[in-house]
Amino acid sequence: MKAIGLTGGIGMGKSACAELLRRRNIPVIDTDDLARRVVEPGQPALTKVQSIFGPEIIGYDGKLRRDELARRVFSDPSLRKRLEHVLHPCIRELWRAQIRAWQEEGHRLAVVVIPLLFETHADQELDATICVACSAASQQARLLARGWDTPQIQQRIEAQLPVEKKMAAATFVIWTEGSLDVHAAQLDRILSRLAQA
């Protein structure tokens, strides 16, 4: 089985690409979903996060106050590093286990969506990588449409490797400026090459 890493800048089309893959019956796991799972009430990672950020990071319902956590870590790189040190090993174990399960099920191809793919060196464990990318103007417009303000957008962009470096490091690049059909056509060409390899 080939395990593929899917990455790209925030707001550049990772979720759209993941959905296109699922429509083609390719199994996909998204590490953003895993990041939410590892900090659910009762999980060891949540206790560690609370020890770093204090009891006020947990709401009255026992759940992580994600907006407050984001506010803190995206304004303080040292706190963000401490959080990543807690969460990334837990997340990696989950996607590794999922890949093993897919291998046992006989899948020929599977995809892991990892926003910090190259930053965490996860690419070294995968057979190939795809980076989705668009212009900075399109990225800004998409994130503003999500309701984020300009400082929030800038903080999140600065927390990741520049997209140009992700594109240079990736095995394949999908340019997401066009329609979803154009995006899909690029993806299909990549899938064809992967099938032939």
Q: Give the residue extent of every domain in the chain.
A: 2-196
**In this structure, are residues 1 and 82 in contact, taking their beta carbons and an 8 Å threshold?**
no
In three-state secondary structure terms, 11 is coil
Sheet holding 2-8, edge to edge: 28-30, 109-113, 2-8, 128-133, 172-175
Number of residues assigned to the chain? 197
Q: Exposure of 85 by Cβ count < 10 A (0-12 exposed, 13-18 middle, 19+ buried)?
A: exposed
**Mean pLDDT to the nearest integer, 114-128:** 96
Domain 2-196 adopts which CATH fold?
Answer: Rossmann fold (3.40.50)
DSSP type of residue 124? G
d(CA 77, CA 159): 8
Q: pLDDT at position 88, please?
A: 95
pLDDT digits (tens, 9 = 90+) for 45-88: 999 999 999 999 999 999 999 999 999 998 899 999 999 999 99
Residue 64's DSSP bridge partners are 58
pLDDT, one tens digit per residue, over 141-182 is 999 999 988 988 888 898 889 999 999 999 999 999 989 999
pLDDT for residue 27? 98
> What's the whole-number average pLDDT of the chain?
95
CA angle 93, 98, 104 (to 5 degrees): 130
Cα separation, 42 vs 131, in Å, equals 34
CA atoms within 13 Å, Cβ hemisphere of 50: 17
Instruction: Label residue 102 by pLDDT band (50, 70, 90).
Output: very high
pLDDT at 197 over 80: no
pLDDT at residue number 24: 97
Task: Tell me the two tokens of residue 168.
Answer: 């240079």
Tell me how far apart the alpha carbons of residues 86 and 116 are, in angstroms, rounded to a whole number: 15
